[in-house]
Structure 1
Amino acid sequence: MAVETPRYATVLRDGDHEVRDYPALVVAEVSVEGDQKTAASRGFRLLANYIFGGNRKRTGIAMTAPVAQQAEGQKIAMTAPVAQVPGAAGAWIVRFTMPSAWTLDTLPVPDDARVRLRRTDPVRVAVRRFSGLARPDDVQAQSAALLAWVRARGLHPTGPVTLAQYNPPWTPWFLRRNEVMVDVAR
């Protein structure tokens, strides 16, 4: 099953790490409460409802990858090894990137007021790729490794760590593509 992923320019590649430049993107996102797994499930359902016709035009919108999730309202302290606290209850933002054919002006209005449509700013991100189920402990360890790599390269994080998952749930764990990413200063 081929799905669209956002285009980006690779600035640096170093093993499982990359620095990428993403253009402005149009996204649909929700804020949900719970632990990482519960929030991901709730957020996914709300966003899937929107793209499967839960909108004023009853229009279907193609699924894209990745599905992104980040702890809401947390900032990175320069001494903290991890920006999000996977597994802790709290507010999370779950985000779908809209297919590139859509704009804010052409996307249908969501039926559910919890679904927000917005345009992101262009951004440079540091990324660490990993496979597996992206359990909270795994995400925490991968986030710590990403932030250590960022610091070792003299990069400066400017936001929270985001978990990006690229595969449907029926994909075997060893074939799953996951990434943790953090915005960095240019």
Structure 2
Amino acid sequence: MPEILLFNKPFNVLCQFTDEPQYSGERETLADYIQRPGFYAAGRLDRDSEGLLLLTNDGVLQHQISDPKHKQPKTYLVQVEGDITPQAVKQLKIGVELKDGMTRPAVAKKINEPKWIWQRTPPIRERKNIPTSWLELTITEGRNRQVRRMTAAVGFPTLRLIRTKIGPYQLNNLQPGESIMQKAQS
């Protein structure tokens, strides 16, 4: 029976169960949080990103979730450097030209800082003269570091990136390092 594990990946945790030998014991991996044999990550989340990561014990389901051709929408809360402009948000909605081509249109909106978000350890770098702002961004692609590259391309570098949704699965109130088992949704 396919099962799916929703995990809130903390900042600085590798999205794999083992690390390269030269870093043995120096960096946290999924094995520091998840002790379920036969479960594997369905997709990736960069070490410097936080939030929802799905793991499953079913190879077909893993493929459906992680394969870009299935276009699972992924939603992120993004803290950017500067006060993001309406023009930048509009450009994210239309699509952004990156070195590897134009992105698909995204769903993007500027939001207030979410009150429910946990403090990051270590905290983001703060600059006295440069404000930060937040946006919610939903994409249907999975290019390498895509959200970070998109916000940088419109002039607002990402400081913090938290994935909150993948398809029908949501982070809800899981705290960093916590996980919950769910039935797989079709």
Alignment TM-score > 0.5, same fold: no
Q: TM-score, normalised by structure 2?
A: 0.30
Higher-Rg member (1/2): 2
